[in-house]
Chains A and B, each alone.
Chain A
Amino acid sequence: MFSDNKSLWDAFALPEDSPVYRRIGPLHLWLWRKSDELWVTHLNSNDEADLECPDEDADWRRWALRNGDHSAKLNPMLPNKSIVVKPEYDIHLLRNSKVRTYTRVPISVDIQVIGETTSSITEIPTQVLSNTWFGSFINGELCYWLATSARRSMPLDLIQPNHAVCIMDIRNQSDDDLKMDRICLRVERLSLFMQDGYLWADDTEITYEGEDGTAQIKNDGLAPYEVKDAVKLTEPRQPHKRGLAERAFFLFRDSGE
């Protein structure tokens, strides 16, 4: 099954006579070249079966192509906003302890047309994530919301084609125990790697020093040690910043009433 996933991210021709169909987890995607235009539509459905034809009332979007734009490529991308990860059960981290957790993050698909040059035309999430607010009522940032079981290991059979595995190494160097009920994962700073058809992001190292939810966050931009030979597919949306001190743990104390 996963040998097919490797080819998901390869370039493919855009014939004129019929639409090209791709399924990435719950995302069903159709691309159709009609003379000098590219028509794109998609459907998010948990239906396991392939849907060779889109609905008659599908909502198509159109792009005017350049001469020679006769092939396309899908590129996996991590979401365009940080993700607040909510573990199924709170994790308590004792002083001077460390934990390595694995989270499956639904990716987005960047559609690129290939001619003399390659151009991105649109990005479609494979799964529509809810939004959440990370911060106070006055300041903060809009993030995606993801409930997770924050596993301590990641069996390969749990990874779907639309998932990227994000790994967090969390270290508590404060004088108190750390209750992790929500963690902000800065996915826009992560690269994507592929090995055997599975997508992995580079490690996020979070060191909590007891500063009111802020922590030192590091990304090394290298494939995690579980998949040392993985090939880099995508660069991070934002460049790496070494030793960045940012809020990583949730501190929403006000109930809003």
Chain B
Amino acid sequence: MDLGFINDFISPDRFERLVIALVFLSIALPIVYFVRGRVRKVVTKRHSEHYGMLAAKILHYVLMMIVIVIFLTELGLSLTPLLGAAGVLGVAIGFASQTSVSNIISGFFLIAERPFSVGDVIQVGQTVGVVLSIDTLSAKLRTFDNRFVRIPNETLVKSEVINLTKFPIRRVEVNVSVAYKEDLKRVREILMDIAESNPLALQEPAPLINFSQFGASSVDLFFLVWTNKENFIQLKNELNEEVKHRFDKAGVEIPFPQMVLHRDD
């Protein structure tokens, strides 16, 4: 088999360029990854994980672009035809991948508007989870039962997103129903005492007890207590349990739906 054409193609000059380009790549790539890691660590420490991830990504793409351009130049390839081809190809790909482009542009909106950051707990539709990353095409969440959810950026821009941890404090709402015969003043005293004696409940903003409605079988109240966002679930559980316990102890009836039937003889 005649392999002369290979010898012609890999001339000593080209071989030398290839070696230089590969050596450059083997040095440049670890440096890019090292710099990306350092920048992420420093920016995360000084600002937040969100900005750390963002800075690392931007830096990574810019450096990789520079590395690729230098690598190709070292190989002796002219970039002009490549860029021309990329332009034509870009139009073709653009038509074929409108959704992806939409996701990329939506990603920029998400970064600029910053409705949530990495580490926040958000709710999108029925999905609630911790934001793991906001990437070029999608945001990744970890739900509380440890499922991985990928939500396209376009969906996040179009739909209602509730950020559950944006603000430092949250209000726990407990629906309390008591029988019509109960003294509401006494019920109010018990509920306020429950809030005041729980160390997770904030004293300010003060707990509130609001009248909800005269229900079919009960007088319905809202018991509203503030806490810092980290303690929300724990306080909600504790308040519900404590209300039941204290009502039982004080003989306050929590009614269940009931119907009075009159027999007409």
Contact surface of A with B, Cβ cutoff 8 Å: 84, 86, 128-134, 137-140, 142, 145, 182, 250, 252, 254-257
Contacts and interface: CB of A to CB of B under 8 A. Distances in A.
26 contacts: A84-B203, A86-B203, A130-B196, A131-B199, A131-B200, A131-B227, A131-B228, A132-B202, A132-B203, A133-B205, A133-B226, A134-B204, A137-B205, A138-B167, A139-B168, A140-B168, A140-B169, A142-B168, A182-B204, A250-B204, A252-B204, A252-B205, A254-B205, A256-B171, A256-B224, A257-B208
3 A-B pairs with least C-beta separation: A145-B203, A132-B203, A132-B204
A131 B208 contact: no
A185 B216 CA distance: 49
* Chain B, interface residues (CB within 8 Å), range: 10 to 19
A131 B203 CA distance: 6
B178 interface: no
B223 to A, nearest CB: 14
A252 B201 CA distance: 17
Contacts of A137: 167, 169, 205
Interface in B215-238: 224, 226-228
A182 to B, nearest CB: 7
Contacts of B199: 128-131
Interface in B148-198: 167-169, 171, 196
Given A130-B196, A131-B228, A255 B205 contact: yes
A129 B202 CA distance: 11
Contacts of A256: 171, 205, 208, 224, 226
The dominant DSSP class at the A interface is loop
Contacts of A255: 205
A140 B226 CA distance: 14
Contacts of B205: 133, 137, 252, 254-256
Contacts of B228: 131, 133, 142
Contacts of B200: 131
Contacts of B224: 256
Contacts of A142: 168, 228
Contacts of A129: 199
Given A256-B208, A256-B226, A131 B168 contact: no
Contacts of A84: 203-204
B170 to A, nearest CB: 10
B198 to A, nearest CB: 8
Contact of A133 (B196, B202, B208): B202
